[in-house]
Structure 1
């Protein structure tokens, strides 16, 4: 009995390792393939993670059944029926996770590497199994979310993402001069980051009048997950251009009047 359990455990680990290597080879082949009928890289990686999950659960279930086959065979029918009923009740959430996981994959709601919001959690999908989705947020925390509890998903990685840069200038400055300067910065920025930008960066114009200055809004679109980098870089380059041109950015001032 003990020898059989040891042999089965070794076989389980061996099968899972070999299976994972085969799945990884399949995923790598799909990622590198340039054929029109091959899967796109993200889809291939997602399916690979799901296949690994299916393999693991299947091998473990079969292994446990083989290890305790003699024990199960000697259990009375009435006791086995009661036990099966109890296991069935406990397995409802597992079945729900499996079914919902299948639909999440089938409907392509998200994949590995996507930036998503699930319930109260937002982050990058690290892996997607047949029972759980693993999400890492931007603070580094890892969230394991049962697929059965996923009711609403917001996918931030499908389509281009808008970013906004608001530029404040003092009331004393010429609005048209500042706008033209920003447009020239945008043109140079587009050429520099054309691999991450989508379309042209637009200057919407004055959007608000503040106590010490006015706000000019600049809007662009970038590929998913690069919008924050584009926003930071563009804000920096506009600030440097305004400084070189002598266009003042508003700040609190105190005037002392002697009477």
Structure 2
């Protein structure tokens, strides 16, 4: 019984010590403050994003001479959303930590600040390079670009990262500080190439004439996407089983693959109708008797 009494006494002393050391009212007050600041941060971002979206939609729909181009408006909208998010996070989290940091000794706070400064070097590099990307208009939302080893469509540009989706559907988040070389495939017309093979037994001039007529009809059908006349260059190479004829055209960005597929199909149909054979593996059986 004496042991149980001693254990109870010790428990009471421990509870008394912690109840004196910990200010429960202050803790509850800080928790309420953190929840309140978090709610304000959430609604600030939601409301800000809606206002930015309205601004972008208005710029895209506007036809006045002072309005931004649709692509520029989308790019600026994504950047403004990124700036809003980081600003709200920095102010909100800074407000939450203010009371805690105020009670930390000066030496410890200085050491912590030095460590944070070292860790923030990459962040500062991302921010600075992000602003250069925007000011120099290296690429915008919707552009087909190659950044390092990644190639795809730019989905968004932030002050810290660029979001790129490749043609397999994978999403790449690239820090702006690592953007050293950029190839923009969406500035200007894009060349597409269609190589057609015909058998050695066929008349080359006749085949070229058929391809030229087909290309003229193709231009009329796809004039909204083509940016120049389709040029039939002529014989490109003499292969093991046939002759290669090269056809070249220019189209608007991101439509070059569609133009290649459609033109290749039309040329195949036209050659079949003209009786011009495309080479394929053949087996010859020779009977010496």
TM-score of the two chains, using structure 1 as the length reference = 0.98
Other-structure match for 2:266: 237
- Rounded Cα–Cα distance in structure 2 between residues aligned with 1:130 and 1:245: 58
- Are 2:239 and 1:210 aligned? yes
Match for residue 135 of structure 1 among 164, 169, 176? 164
Q: CA offsets per residue over residues 95-128 of structure 1, 9 Å max, x none?
A: 0000000000110000111111111111111111
Other-structure match for 1:51: 80
Other-structure match for 2:149: 120
Q: Relative contact order: is structure 1 or structure 2 higher (C-alpha 8 Å, sep ≥ 6)?
A: 1
Other-structure match for 2:175: 146
> Number of paired residues?
259
Cα shift at 1:57 = 0.4
- Are 2:184 and 1:155 aligned? yes
- Rounded Cα–Cα distance in structure 2 between residues aligned with 1:197 and 1:225: 12
Match for residue 198 of structure 2 among 134, 144, 169? 169
Q: Secondary structure of the equivalent of 1:248?
A: coil
Listed as ranges, the gaps of 5+ residues in structure 2 are 1-29
Counterparts of 1:17-96 in structure 2 under 5 Å?
Answer: 17-96=46-125
Cα shift at 1:68 = 2.1
Q: Secondary structure of the equivalent of 1:68?
A: helix
- Rounded Cα–Cα distance in structure 1 between residues aligned with 2:109 and 2:58: 46
Q: Secondary structure of the equivalent of 1:188?
A: helix
- Aligned-residue Cα RMSD (Å) equals 0.8
Other-structure match for 2:216: 187
Other-structure match for 1:250: 279
Q: CA offsets per residue over residues 181-237 of structure 1, 9 Å max, x none?
A: 111111111111111111100000001111121011000001000000000000001
- Rounded Cα–Cα distance in structure 1 between residues aligned with 2:102 and 2:64: 51
> Mean alpha-carbon deviation: is it higher for 95-104 or for 244-253?
244-253
Q: CA offsets per residue over residues 20-40 of structure 1, 9 Å max, x none?
A: 011101111111111122211
Cα shift at 1:255 = 1.6
For the pair shown, which has the larger CA radius of gyration, 1 or 2?
A: 2
> Mean alpha-carbon deviation: is it higher for 210-219 or for 75-84?
75-84
Cα shift at 1:81 = 1.4
Q: Secondary structure of the equivalent of 1:198?
A: coil
- Rounded Cα–Cα distance in structure 1 between residues aligned with 2:241 and 2:170: 41
Q: CA offsets per residue over residues 146-175 of structure 1, 9 Å max, x none?
A: 000111001111110000000111111111
Structure 1 moving runs of 4+ over 4 Å: none
- Rounded Cα–Cα distance in structure 2 between residues aligned with 1:186 and 1:33: 38
- Rounded Cα–Cα distance in structure 1 between residues aligned with 2:239 and 2:131: 52
Other-structure match for 1:3: 32
Q: Secondary structure of the equivalent of 1:220?
A: strand
- Rounded Cα–Cα distance in structure 1 between residues aligned with 2:282 and 2:103: 89
TM-score of the two chains, using structure 2 as the length reference = 0.88
Listed as ranges, the gaps of 5+ residues in structure 1 are none
